Amino acid sequence: MSVRVGKTDKAAAFPVAAKTALKNDQLRANVRRATDTIRGKRALRVEEMPDWQKLRDAASAIKAHTLRHLDEYLVEFEKNCELVGGKVHWARDADEANAIAVKLIKEYGGTEVIKVKTMTSDEVQMNVALEAAGITPIETDLADMIVQMGHDEPSHIVVPALHKNRFEVRDLFRETMQKPELTEQPEELTGAARAYLRERFLKVKIGVSGANFAIAETGGVCVVESEGNGRMCLTMPDVLITLVGVEKVIPRFEDLEVFLQLLPRSATGERMNPYNSLWCGVHPSDGPKAFHVILLDNGRTNLLHDEMERETLECIRCGACLNACPVYRETGGHAYGSIYSGPIGAILSPQLQSLEHSRSLPYASTLCGACYEVCPVKINIPEILIHLRGRVVREEQATLGGKLAVENLAMQGAAIAFKSQRRYEAAQRLAQAGQALFREGDQLENLPGMAGGWTKYRDLRAIPKQSFRDWWKSRSNGGNA
Amino acid sequence: MHIALFVACYNDTLFPETGIAVTRVLERLGHTVTFPLAQTCCGQMHYNTGYHREAVPLVRRFVEMFRDAEAVCVPSASCVAMMREHYEMMAEAENDAAFLADVRSLLPRVFEFSELLANRLQTEDVGATFEHSVTYHPSCHSLRMLHVGDAPTRLLRRVRGLSLLELPKKEQCCGFGGTFAVKNVDVSVAMLTEKQGCVVETGAEVVTALDNSCLMQIYGGLHRSGSAVRTMHIAEILASEGVAR
Ligand code: SF4
């Protein structure tokens, strides 16, 4: 089995990628404007809910329960889905999922597919596999379409083209749709997109979708969206193939009562999504004539054994943590090197894929807790980040290079100093004396090593000659404890 | 009340004036302050950076030292967050029942400085005078982990002569984040730039917080930009009796 998450294996370390992003003022302005807007709307829609915290508790409890019994619920889903005419396929990893999709599309004689809600398909890089097999994927979610047209990467899990403003979209549409007369008016842009997409909705016979929820009790699948393009993709084609991560299963239909309140308010600040599509199997006179579900593992089950890691799988991909994150606010999503960006990306990518591909991600956070505060399923992201940092450190320390790394040596040194009053006070003296080399008046300048990153951009007051304990000793003649 | 002070290693070394101020405030209110000299670090830096094994002896050391305290005062919200969020979990992982019992019994007696004053001691007016305009930055740990709420601003509002100015986007992180400040220098500085801009926008003479770590970051940006806005730990304001610093 080989787990792949988008292009994470080729991604630069977060601090490096972030540095590039920080230079892009347009991108940062777009990200700030967009996240500020969504955050504001979310706050309004959350404040009006007296039972918000209880809903969060309920959601977290349902998800935790489901993940503890995932094996049973998945089998139940499969059974019920097939009872009503669906067909369930199991994919261990990206390659298997893509192979299943390609095989199905070929069997139905398709050369084009329309797609919606495709984050999971981006995770497995399905478009690359489809194109390699001579199949043209057409993204129909407006933002996904913009990303695809621009040969770009999604930068937000709910608003994939959040990094683009309407002027940039206008230019892209002018070029790809050959419509030089387009202006940046939102109505005009959506109008152009509508005309472009309608043509494809009417002619393409196979749809590929993702899903927000898979319901074990009914074998049904649920997609929520704002545009209606999803509804088109789910209902117009003859064949529908839905790719779902195994963690998306929920036990009962009535559980949607909780999630369909939390998700739209958290994701877009809407009370309800404009389009909530739910479907079960196939029906003679309506909708697709064939329905396939691909249940995808791709590293997810590796997280099940550990209680804290497992919590990551409770995510309903609402994006609230991205919009709340002060780091994401500065860098946007591309710096995370994965389709999963922001706080959830920082914990999900390194766990799905082995840590070595994304060792810098658990450190891409100040642990400020803004993500945990807004998460509708109460995933304690800061705690999981710290847990993953522990794994990174342990893995580093297992190698000679890691043992001898400056950071490790400094941390070991500090740990030894902190274990004894005598050594701690000696270290304090050493710091007080050693700073002479870097002292300019009452400031420290050009510090060596990692601390140099501080003094390069920020001032730092020199270490005072008298520590607090010195003061204490002097006033109480040797201390009182 | 007998209050044991855990000053935090970085305050001890870099910001002695904060510990002195805490001592002055508590003594002025008639409490007895002790400072166990064997104290070092709560383990936060190691733990949050991923050096979990290395943090355990520091946690044990803290717990042994303060086990019998009536109350422990910590003028650093992030250290208290470290204790409340992780000590119990760490003790559980150690499989040491006595250690775990000590942690559980000690934690309810550990207070961040403003919590101790406003909540535990129910004192809002600490008899301070500070004739300056001040803006308050609610540090992330105090806000979202300790949930100190309005305890700090209740204290500040009772300081004679002080005018409290609202900080725009106050709940946004300053970008310090411990080792984040050096591991992700560029992002940290970008975050600081926004925070610093908000501070300057208030027109306040002083920016205060419960954590000198955030204040060190904010100072770093303000001072580098040539701003005259000063950073002061809340204890220093509450200790002030009107004499210019
Ligand atoms: S981690 Fe929570 S807040 Fe972030 S996307 Fe998932 S459900 Fe939403």
Q: What is the pLDDT of residues A451-476, one digit of tens each?
A: 888 999 999 999 999 999 999 999 87
Domain boundary among the residues B91, B120, B149 is at B120
- The model's pLDDT over A149-198, given as tens digits with 9 standing for 90+, comes to 999 999 999 988 888 888 999 999 999 999 899 999 999 999 999 999 99
> Does ligand 1 have an atom closer than 6 angstroms to the CB of A315?
yes
> Rounded distance, CA A328 to CA A21, Å?
10
Share of chain A above pLDDT 70, in %: 99
My answer on whether B183 and B83 are in the same domain is no
Is A365 at the interface with chain B, CB within 8 A? yes
My answer on whether B84 and B172 are in the same domain is no
Share of chain B above pLDDT 70, in %: 99
User: Six-digit token pair at B162?
Assistant: 């002080």
User: What spacing in Å lies between the alpha carbon of A385 and ligand 1's midpoint?
Assistant: 14
My answer on whether B160 and B229 are in the same domain is yes
Is the alpha carbon torsion for B119, B124, B128, B130 positive or negative? positive
Domain ranges in chain A are 8-302, 414-476
| Interchain pair A372, B191: CB under 8 A | no
My answer on whether B14 and B102 are in the same domain is yes
pLDDT at A477: 62
User: What spacing in Å lies between the alpha carbon of A13 and ligand 1's midpoint?
Assistant: 23
Average pLDDT over residues A141-148: 92
> Rounded distance, CA B230 to CA B204, Å?
9
**One-letter identity of residue B10:** Y
Residue listed under structure tokens 């095989």: A103
Q: What CATH number is given to the structural domain containing B175? A: 3.40.50
* Contact criterion met (CB below 8 Å) for B186 and A22: yes
My answer on whether B111 and B180 are in the same domain is no
Helices (H), chain B: 9-14, 16-28, 44-49, 52-66, 77-82, 88-94, 97-106, 113-115, 140, 151-157, 180-183, 185-202, 212-224, 234-239
Reported as type and span, the H/E element at residue A366 is none
My answer on whether B152 and B103 are in the same domain is no
* pLDDT exceeds cutoff 90 at B221: yes
Domain boundary among the residues B86, B120, B154 is at B120
> Does ligand 1 have an atom closer than 6 angstroms to the CB of A379?
yes
- The model's pLDDT over A215-235, given as tens digits with 9 standing for 90+, comes to 999 999 999 999 999 999 999
Residue listed under structure tokens 């299963």: A249
Residue listed under structure tokens 């709560």: B42
Q: What is the mean pLDDT of chain A?
A: 93
B180 within some domain: yes
Give chain B's domain count: 2
Tell me which of B245 and B49 has the higher pLDDT.
B49
Point out the residue among B45, B183, B224 whose CB comes nearest to the CB of A458: B224
Domain boundary among the residues B87, B120, B153 is at B120
pLDDT at A188: 92
User: Six-digit token pair at B232?
Assistant: 């002061």
My answer on whether B144 and B222 are in the same domain is yes
User: What spacing in Å lies between the alpha carbon of A266 and ligand 1's midpoint?
Assistant: 9
Point out the residue among B38, B85, B219 whose CB comes nearest to the CB of A459: B219
| Interchain pair A473, B37: CB under 8 A | yes
Is A415 at the interface with chain B, CB within 8 A? yes
Write the DSSP symbol of residue A133: T
> Rounded distance, CA A280 to CA A219, Å?
6
> Rounded distance, CA B104 to CA A99, Å?
54
* pLDDT exceeds cutoff 70 at A480: no
| Interchain pair B19, A417: CB under 8 A | no
My answer on whether B103 and B149 are in the same domain is no
- The model's pLDDT over A299-320, given as tens digits with 9 standing for 90+, comes to 999 999 999 999 999 999 999 9
Closest CA to A329 of B209, B163, B175, B127: B175
Is A26 at the interface with chain B, CB within 8 A? no
Rg (CA), chain B: 18
Residue listed under structure tokens 């999803």: A230
> Rounded distance, CA A139 to CA B191, Å?
35
- The model's pLDDT over A87-143, given as tens digits with 9 standing for 90+, comes to 999 999 999 999 999 999 999 999 999 999 889 999 999 999 999 999 999 999 999
B127 within some domain: no
Best A468, A473, A480 member to test B by mutation, with max B CBs in 10 Å, is A468
What long-range pairs does B194-199 form, CB within 8 A, spacing at least 24?
B194/B169, B195/B137, B195/B169, B195/B221, B196/B221, B196/B222, B196/B225, B196/B227, B198/B167, B198/B168, B198/B169, B198/B170, B198/B172, B199/B135, B199/B137, B199/B167, B199/B229
| Most confident residue range from A6-15, A355-364, A409-418 | A409-418
> Rounded distance, CA A140 to CA A150, Å?
14
My answer on whether B176 and B68 are in the same domain is no
pLDDT at A479: 46
Q: Which domain holds residue B106?
A: 2-120
> Does ligand 1 have an atom closer than 6 angstroms to the CB of A348?
no
Q: Domain A8-302, what fold?
A: Rossmann fold (3.40.50)
B40 within some domain: yes
B243 within some domain: no
ipTM value > 0.90 = yes
What long-range pairs does A196-199 form, CB within 8 A, spacing at least 24?
A197/A140, A197/A145, A197/A229, A197/A232
B150 within some domain: yes
Write the DSSP symbol of residue B81: H
B244 within some domain: no
pLDDT at B127: 95
